[in-house]
């Protein structure tokens, strides 16, 4: 196992920070009279949610075969990204590394925290050049590497992730938001091997719960304790927690969601072959396609005119649009518009 002195990477003020501890959530009571938190005694949702998210963590620990102390729950993965940067990166001093192109929020939260952003440019197939990675890590003092796999917006999985965890002298955050669509193995088994690894997953994609805003971080007890120290006390609401806990017991529903999405991906791939305005469809391991068009502005505006919303990635990825896989009715509307566009 690659061992790190995690405390040497943490901001000094965070090491000295005392977490907010809810007396109620950290003690067991049979029939408590709740007069401690200035809540209203009336109303359907008058009580604060469990600040420690015990029930959800217990469910996830059973499913993932890890300890509850290795789990942090966030208001979406975005909050967890923000918290990880706050724990490890000294403002105006430290740097993060992220792939380019990749999920913009890594850089967004680093910028808010006044950290430098170093970008690792992907090759023409949107893969990492290992030599380039090693060179960048040698010449820059980097605290965190955000590695998104499958990557957003390119859709592909990054191969040999363990190489990057092993060869990075800081915290490696592997973001697996789209892992369920890929058929690839999660990196969760690597947690025992690498103490510098943080794994992010979400209920927003395959689980169909984007509106609930629930993200999960898996890591060592030590790192999870630090994340929980800096998080807001009641960061995930009761409605979201209850719904997600209920959903975990309905695994067949999630499997069906993934199966339906994969069927739509297969159908769309066939349809794309006959569309003249498409120049290239990139391989995908996620629930979206990155597509290069002959005239990207024309296609984007035509789709928008029909109220079909897509994500234009040009000029960062020239002539490309990222298109989410919808249901069959939505996908038919997409294809009909694309077929009406002359190349």
- pLDDT tens digits, one per residue of 207-248: 999 999 999 999 999 999 999 999 999 999 999 999 999 999
How many angstroms separate the CA atoms of 62 and 60, rounded? 5
Do residues 46 and 237 lie in contact, with contact meaning Cβ atoms separated by under 8 Å?
no
Q: Please, which residues bridge with residue 312 across strands?
A: 321
Secondary structure tally for the chain: helices H, strands E = 12, 11
Please tell me whether residue 117 adopts helix, strand or coil conformation.
strand
Q: Yes or no: say if 77 and 228 are a contact pair by the CB < 8 Å rule.
A: no
- What's the CA gap between 293 and 281, in Å, rounded? 9
Alpha helices in the chain (DSSP H): 12-15, 54-64, 76-88, 105-112, 130-139, 161-166, 179-182, 221-230, 238-248, 251-272, 296-305, 328-339
Q: 338 pLDDT exceeds 90? A: yes
**Please, are residues 53 and 236 in contact by the beta-carbon 8 Å criterion?**
yes
* Paired tokens of 112: 């808010």
Question: What confidence tier does 343 reach under pLDDT thresholds 50, 70, 90?
Answer: low
Q: Which of 333, 66, 303 is nearest to 197 (CA)?
A: 66
* Distance in angstroms (rounded) separating the CA atoms of residues 157 and 47: 42
Helix (H) or strand (E) holding 101: none
CB neighbour burial string for 173-193, b if at least 16 within 10 angstroms, e if fewer: bbbbbbbbbbebeebbebbee
pLDDT (average), residues 331-337 = 98
Question: What is the tens place of the pLDDT at every residue in 149-182?
Answer: 999 999 999 999 999 999 999 999 999 999 999 9
Q: Parallel, antiparallel, or unpaired: how do β-strands 197-202 and 215-218 relate?
A: antiparallel
Which domains does the chain show, CATH number per domain? Answer: 6-249 (3.40.640.10), 252-339 (3.90.1150.10)
Closest CA to 230 of 81, 51, 20, 57: 20
- What is the pTM assigned to this prediction? 0.95
pLDDT tens digits along 86-136: 999 999 999 999 999 999 999 999 999 999 999 999 999 999 999 999 999
């Amino acid at each position: 196992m690659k061992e790190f002195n995690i405390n040497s990477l943490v901001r000094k003020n965070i090491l000295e920070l005392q977490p907010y501890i809810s007396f109620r959530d950290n003690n067991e009571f049979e029939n408590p009279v709740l007069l401690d938190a200035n809540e209203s005694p009336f109303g359907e949702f008058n009580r604060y949610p469990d600040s420690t998210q015990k029930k959800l963590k217990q469910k996830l620990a059973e499913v993932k075969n890890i300890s509850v102390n290795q789990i942090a729950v966030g208001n979406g993965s975005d909050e967890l990204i923000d918290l990880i940067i706050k724990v490890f990166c000294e403002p105006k001093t430290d740097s993060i590394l992220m792939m380019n192109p990749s999920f913009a929020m890594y850089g967004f939260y680093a910028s808010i925290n006044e950290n430098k952003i170093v970008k690792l440019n992907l090759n023409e197939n949107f893969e990492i050049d290992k030599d380039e990675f090693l060179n960048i890590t040698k010449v820059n003092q980097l605290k965190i590497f955000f590695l998104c796999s499958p990557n957003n917006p390119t859709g592909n999985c990054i191969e040999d992730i363990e190489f990057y965890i092993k060869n990075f002298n800081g915290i490696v955050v592997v973001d697996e938001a789209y892992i369920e669509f890929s058929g690839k193995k999660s990196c969760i088994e690597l947690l025992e091997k690498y103490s510098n690894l943080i794994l992010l997953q979400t209920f927003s994609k395959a689980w169909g719960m984007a509106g609930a805003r629930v993200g999960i971080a898996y890591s060592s007890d030590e790192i999870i304790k630090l994340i929980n120290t800096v998080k807001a006390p009641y960061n995930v609401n009761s409605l979201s927690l209850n719904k997600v806990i209920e959903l975990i017991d309905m695994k067949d529903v999630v499997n069906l969601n993934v199966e339906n999405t994969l069927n739509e991906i297969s159908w769309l791939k066939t349809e794309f072959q006959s569309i003249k305005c498409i120049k290239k469809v990139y391989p995908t391991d996620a629930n979206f396609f990155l597509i290069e068009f002959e005239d990207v502005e024309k296609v984007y505006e035509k789709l928008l005119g029909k109220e079909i919303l897509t994500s234009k990635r040009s000029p960062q990825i020239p002539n490309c649009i990222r298109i989410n896989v919808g249901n069959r009715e939505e996908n038919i509307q997409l294809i009909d518009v694309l077929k009406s566009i002359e190349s």
